[in-house]
Structure 1
Amino acid sequence: MKGLIQYFYEIKIDKAILWCYLIWYIAIVYFYFDPSIKIWLNSIGISAVIGTGLLLSVSSGNSGESDRWQTFRLYLMPFCVSSFSALIKGQGFVVFISPKLQENLLSALCCILFLSFILGIKLIKAKLSNH
Structure 2
Amino acid sequence: MSESLTAASQAGDISQLYTSIQEDPYILERIDDIPFFETPLHIAASAGHTRFAVEIMRLKPSFGRKLNPNGFSPIHLALQNQHNRLVLRLVEIQKDLVRVQGREGLTPLHFVAQNGDTDLLDQFLSACRCDSSRGDLSTYCC
Question: TM-score when scaled to structure 1?
Answer: 0.29
| Bigger relative contact order, structure 1 or 2 (CA pairs below 8 A, ≥6 apart) | 1
Larger Rg: 1
Please state which structure has a larger fraction of its residues in helix: 1
Question: TM-score when scaled to structure 2?
Answer: 0.27
